[in-house]
Amino acid sequence: MSLEEVYQEIEKNKEDSIDILCELLKIPSMAAKKTGAPEAIEFLSKIFEEAGFKYFISETKGNPVFCAEMNVGSEKTLLFYDHYDVQPEDPVDLWDSPPFEPAIRDGKIFARGVSDNKGEIICRLQAIKAYNKIYGKPPINIKFVIEGEEEVGSPNLEEFVNNDKEFISDADGCIWEFGGRDGDGIQQVYLGVKGILYLHLKTRTIGRDVHSGYTQFVDNAAYELVWALSIIKDRKDKIQVPGFYDNISKPSAEDMKIIKEFELKEDLLKKMYGIEEFRLGLTGLELKKKYFLEPTCNICGLWSGYQGPGGKTVTPNEAFAKVDLRLVPGQNPKDLIEKIRKFWDENNFQHIEITEWDGYEAAKTSIKDPFAVAVIETIKEVEGHEPIIWPMVGGSGPMYLFEGVPCISIGCGHANSNAHAPNENIFIDDFVVGMKTIAKLIHRF
């Protein structure tokens, strides 16, 4: 028995792995649209049971959490966190093939959710199956937590964690849901995620839309919302809410060393984003410090008034916006929303309603943690090169709930996987290498 035999088994079953993945990709499990969750749970139950796992389904106020376990009596337990929900497919007309009808072109699989995160679920499951085919069983206990609301902020995952603490707390390490290669094909390792605060905003200033010839008499809802948003952040990205930066943790010497040595590949990023220079003209260390260490405030959507063809001269009575703030260690979303509310009230924007909000804190693992070392060494051996280490990624996830469990993100995506966008895809070769990496990690761990 050898890992080489496991790798051969992975290669031999490549088409079966693709077929299983495609079946999962056909299920339109979108938490935002409240579709596909029962079908996804049914499919996961079937394939995990066939693979020798015991599973249970934890009900929540929203979509259920699927949990699976293979307990071999080991002192070590490896946990995988994934999600079966995907982003909405819109805009559909920008897809080259239907988003829920998986297509293979140019060595890639195209479908909504193939990169984020269904490809990782099947990659990890198939790696375990191949390992067990050769060795009989894994050398460690293995668990999966696969939730169904990650793409809408995981509003009910905390309920699951509180009800099933032991299922998570005895894990010695967790492979998080996402990951992949950079534009040069180098595998990346993410040690943490930023937190997030997501706001749904609304204001209503008058009883109905008014002819714009009478705009002197009434408040314009669109202007009111724009003015309220404009005082949150200045042109240099400094957030103006009093106390916003108060609790931010100071970066460690270890963090600063990783940031200083990190190669951001600025030219590649400029090409990807179609820009000549980065915001504020930043470059080098200052740009990296801004990315890794600073919180953000971003308008995701803003709408009001007439949106149709031609002109319609009205003063709108309602305006809406969606805003996200990415948070760094030390910041708490509940604390920040209270500060934002107070700030607006003190500046005569009491009429700006926060109709909904959700969020969670940042979380990260030390590069010196034994689990992080094991993951990095595994990638070096499978890939034959040093991975790129990210101290923290700009995106967010509910990693903070897995308190005490070191969490690392790796995966089989790539720089142009188009997660959350039309024509989402992964390379089949990366999918196969991802299985070998997981098999190797299980063996090492």
* C-beta neighbour count of 55 within 10 angstroms: 18
CA angle 263, 269, 273 (to 5 degrees): 165
User: Does 96 have pLDDT greater than 90?
Assistant: yes
Q: What is the pLDDT of residue 189?
A: 96
Together in a domain, 305 and 383 = no
Q: What is the pLDDT of residue 266?
A: 94
Together in a domain, 24 and 172 = yes
Average pLDDT over residues 306-311: 92
User: Does 112 have pLDDT greater than 90?
Assistant: yes
Q: What residues are paired with 35 via a beta bridge?
A: 30
Identify the CATH number of the domain in which residue 322 sits: 3.30.70.360
Q: What is the pLDDT of residue 267?
A: 92
Q: What is the pLDDT of residue 279?
A: 95
Q: How do residues 372-399 score in pLDDT, each as one tens digit?
A: 999 999 999 999 999 999 999 998 889 9
424, 417 Cβ separation under 8 angstroms:
yes
Strand ranges, E, within 177-273:
188-190, 192-204, 210-211
Q: What residues are paired with 146 via a beta bridge?
A: 66, 82
| Residue 7 pLDDT level (bands cut at 50, 70, 90) | very high
Q: How do residues 425-438 score in pLDDT, each as one tens digit?
A: 999 999 999 999 99
CA-closest candidate to residue 444, choices 13, 80, 78, 72: 78
Together in a domain, 166 and 245 = no
Which range marks the domain in which residue 317 is found? 195-359
| Separation between Cα atoms, residue 421 and residue 87, nearest integer Å | 8
Q: How do residues 347-357 score in pLDDT, each as one tens digit?
A: 999 999 999 99
Identify the CATH number of the domain in which residue 56 sits: 3.40.630.10
Q: What is the pLDDT of residue 190?
A: 96
Looking at the 3D structure of the chain, how many domains does it have? 2
User: Does 345 have pLDDT greater than 90?
Assistant: yes
Q: What is the pLDDT of residue 209?
A: 92
User: Does 183 have pLDDT greater than 90?
Assistant: no
Together in a domain, 372 and 313 = no
User: Does 336 have pLDDT greater than 90?
Assistant: yes
User: Does 1 have pLDDT greater than 90?
Assistant: no
Q: What is the pLDDT of residue 294?
A: 97
Together in a domain, 125 and 169 = yes
Together in a domain, 183 and 38 = yes
The H or E element that residue 56 is part of is strand 54-58
Together in a domain, 409 and 346 = no
Q: What is the pLDDT of residue 358?
A: 87
What's the mean per-residue pLDDT of the chain? 95
* C-beta neighbour count of 294 within 10 angstroms: 15
Together in a domain, 241 and 132 = no
Handedness of CA 408, 413, 414, 417 (dihedral sign): negative
CA-closest candidate to residue 112, choices 423, 427, 429: 423
User: Does 214 have pLDDT greater than 90?
Assistant: no
For residues 271 and 16, the model is more confident at 16
Domain boundary among 359, 385, 409: 359
Domain boundary among 359, 392, 426: 359
Task: Say which residue the tokens 């905003």 belong to.
Answer: 201
pTM of the model as a whole: 0.88
Chain centroid to CA 108? 21
Q: What is the pLDDT of residue 399?
A: 93
Q: What is the pLDDT of residue 395?
A: 87
User: Does 445 have pLDDT greater than 90?
Assistant: no
Together in a domain, 216 and 352 = yes
Together in a domain, 299 and 241 = yes
Together in a domain, 222 and 354 = yes
The three-state secondary structure class of 29 is: coil
Domain boundary among 308, 330, 359: 359
Together in a domain, 31 and 170 = yes
Q: What is the pLDDT of residue 322?
A: 97
Task: Say which residue the tokens 């009808």 belong to.
Answer: 101
User: For the residues of 77-115, what is the DSSP string, one character each?
Assistant: EEEEEEES------SGGG-SS-TTS-EEETTEEESTTII
